[in-house]
Amino acid sequence: MVMNKAEKIVAKALEMFNERGIEYVSLRELATELGIRVGNITYYFPTKDDLVNRLAQDLSRLNEQIILQEPASLFSFLERFQKIFENHVQYRCLLLSFVHLMHQNKVLSEAYKETEKKRYLSIVTNLSSLQERGYLILEADRNFLVSVFSLTVRFWISEASLSFAHRSAAEQIRQYVTLLAKLLMPYATEKGQAEIRQFLVSLGH
């Protein structure tokens, strides 16, 4: 695989940031690891935030591909979260520093507002459409469920890094996707419950 300098910097930065946390990897360490000087990094990415923004953009693009598809069933609705969680693991440094980044990095927080709107709308319309197709019965609980889903999707990996760091990434994903599935159970029709059970089985339950 051919990589230009900027791509090499991005790749190594992601690797080191994931390993030790964005705030705890200095540009000088990153430069040393790459065998270049600091000023060389700042040529491609004038500030550290610019480098982080690039990573965020990459993750955003990955997730957008998943969100854009309309889920055909409750099963595929849940499956999508599994894919999103896999992306989250790949860019976990961003999610673990989420709150800080949002409060400090203007560009990122503006960009995320858009992503957030899309995600929120996507969950709302998906839940509605799943109700119309006889998978769910939601009534007044829709907004409540969207809140729980938003919270979980945003912070599952932070929680996992604190409580289940000893487990593999795959097991962590499995745990929190299971959580989302079980969350829907009380609001599912017979047909919906069957799909949730099917999904849980596909996870190895």
Partner DNA sequence: CACCATATTTGGACAATGTCCTAAACTTAC
Partner DNA sequence: GTAAGTTTAGGACATTGTCCAAATATGGTG
Using rule CB under 8 A, residue 148 touches its own copies: yes
How far apart are CB 141 and its own copies at their closest, in Å? 7
Neighbour tally for 52: CB within 10 Å: 22
Cα 20–24–25 angle (5° rounding)? 80
Phi and psi at 188, nearest 5°, equal: -95, 145
Question: From the list its own copies, DNA, none, which binds 107 (C-beta under 5 to 8 Å, kind-based)?
Answer: none
141 interface partner picked from its own copies, DNA, none, CB below 5 to 8 A per type = its own copies
- Looking only at residues 13 through 52 of this chain, which bind DNA when binding is defined by CB under 7 A? 25-29, 36-40, 42-44, 46-49
Q: CA-to-CA distance for 86 and 5, rounded, in angstroms?
A: 26
- Identify the three-state secondary structure at position 72: coil
Beta carbons within 10 angstroms of residue 118's beta carbon: 15
Mask for 59-88, x = binds its own copies (CB under 8 A): ------------------------------
Find the binder of its own copies among 28, 37, 61, 103 (CB under 8 A): 103
Neighbour tally for 69: CB within 10 Å = 10
Question: For residues 190 and 179, is the Cβ–Cβ distance under 8 A?
Answer: no
Nearer to its own copies, 85 or 187 (CB): 187
Q: Which residues would be at the binding site for its own copies (CB under 8 A)?
A: 21, 23-24, 96-100, 102-104, 116, 141, 144, 147-148, 150-152, 154-156, 158-159, 161-163, 175, 178-179, 182-183, 186-187
